[in-house]
Chains A and B, each alone.
Chain A
């Protein structure tokens, strides 16, 4: 069973087309991983599906880095 961190990084890699080893916890989706605004919306959608949760828009806007995504999932599991 993969950890939440591994699962988040795998999804980020798939959605943004980057290698998993290039992804740091501190990586910003937009500034470090080259995501545009539509990418970030799709990323949140993919996280919702992977973790079977609904992330409200106002929460989704605050998820800008890999660590913030991990923190959100941990807090709402």
Chain B
């Protein structure tokens, strides 16, 4: 349910979360809603968009679900324009949408490489760029890119995914330098192994092997990633920029 104003530090802010129909993205959308932001969550299908809208409404948060293909610049620009006109400029952007197409490099097809780079990395270039005008004018903004522990640790079978996520982290640091003087922070959050559809499909033996590497002894919950995003989105995190916050139960420590 909605909370008193003093517990809604993001009240008056418009947040855009890509890939918000399930897993980590959905938890992030709900967390930003709980903190008082008006949330627009995107999904690749109309059905997914509707589920986001209904889910936010059920939680009692102000929010909308919209269909978006993050590999299509025209549809991104159309959505940002619509949000800006209807609600106001996007001031909190969470680039979360992502897919996996795992394969050993020796077997990897061009399409498996290209689709991961396009959906997981070039999308961040597209959506961030589309939101920057509103943020620079407002002299306030938060861009939070969802990375992965494999960007740092590497993972056999994920050369494409790890390359995209490591690229995302370099993008994060460079953009943070470009627009730091405008009151806009750019950070990454790198989840470890989180209980979502993406990790649910892993073979049981692989899951057990992973668990053995996690000091916390369990998979993380989507809400634990969302909490980190909510923190970075808030005013108290204004001096944190260009960093990558690892949330992984200790499975990777830099």
Indicate if the CB atoms of A45 and B179 lie closer than 8 Å: no
Tally A residues with Cβ within 8 Å of B: 3
Residues from chain A with a CB closer than 8 A to the CB of B181 are 38
Which B residues touch A42, using CB under 8 A? 136-137
In the complex, are the beta carbons of A45 and B133 less than 8 A apart? Answer: yes
Interchain nearest-CB distance for B176 vs A (Å): 13
Does B109 reach chain A (CB closer than 8 Å)?
no
For B106-124 the 0/1 string (1 means CB < 8 A from A) is 0000000000000000000
Q: Which residue of B lies closest to A41 (CB)?
A: B136
| Contact residues, A33-67 vs B (CB, 8 A) | 38, 42, 45
Distance in angstroms between the alpha carbons of A45 and B178 in the assembled complex: 16
With a cutoff of 8 Å between Cβ atoms, the chain B residues found around residue A38 in the complex are 136, 178-179, 181-182
Q: How far is the CA of A66 from the CA of B124 in the complex (A)?
A: 34
Q: How many residues of chain B have a CB within 8 Å of chain A?
A: 7
A45: chain B residues within 8 A (beta carbon): 133, 136-137
What 0/1 pattern do residues 157 to 194 of B give for CB contact below 8 A with A? 00000000000000000000011011000000000000
Closest CB in chain B relative to A77 CB, distance in Å: 23
**Which residues of chain A come closer than 8 Å to B133, judged between CB atoms?**
45
Residue of B nearest to A42 (CB): B136
Shortest distance from the beta carbon of B241 to any chain A beta carbon, whole Å = 15
Name the CB-closest residue of B to A48: B133
B112–chain A nearest beta-carbon distance, Å:
34
Question: A3 to B134, alpha carbons, bound, how many Å?
Answer: 27
Inter-chain contacts of B179 with A (CB < 8 A): 38
Taken together as a complex, chains A and B put the C-alpha atoms of A38 and B176 apart, in Å, by 13
Alpha-carbon gap, A38 to B175, bound state (A): 12
In the complex, chain A residues 1-54 whose Cβ is within 8 Å of any chain B Cβ: 38, 42, 45
Give CA–CA (A38, B178) in the complex, Å: 8
The smallest C-beta distance from A14 to any residue of chain B, in angstroms, reads 11
CB-based nearest A residue for B178:
A38
Contacts of B182 in A (CB 8 A): 38
A51 to B46 CA separation, bound complex (whole angstroms):
37
B30 to chain A, nearest CB (A): 34
Listed in ascending order, the chain B residues whose CB lies under 8 Å from chain A are 133, 136-137, 178-179, 181-182
A-B contact pairs, 5 of them (CB 8 A): A38-B179, A38-B181, A38-B182, A45-B136, A45-B137
**Chain A residues within 8 Å of B, Cβ to Cβ:** 38, 42, 45
Q: Which 10 A-B pairs have the closest CB atoms?
A: A42-B136, A45-B133, A38-B178, A38-B179, A38-B181, A38-B182, A45-B136, A45-B137, A38-B136, A42-B137
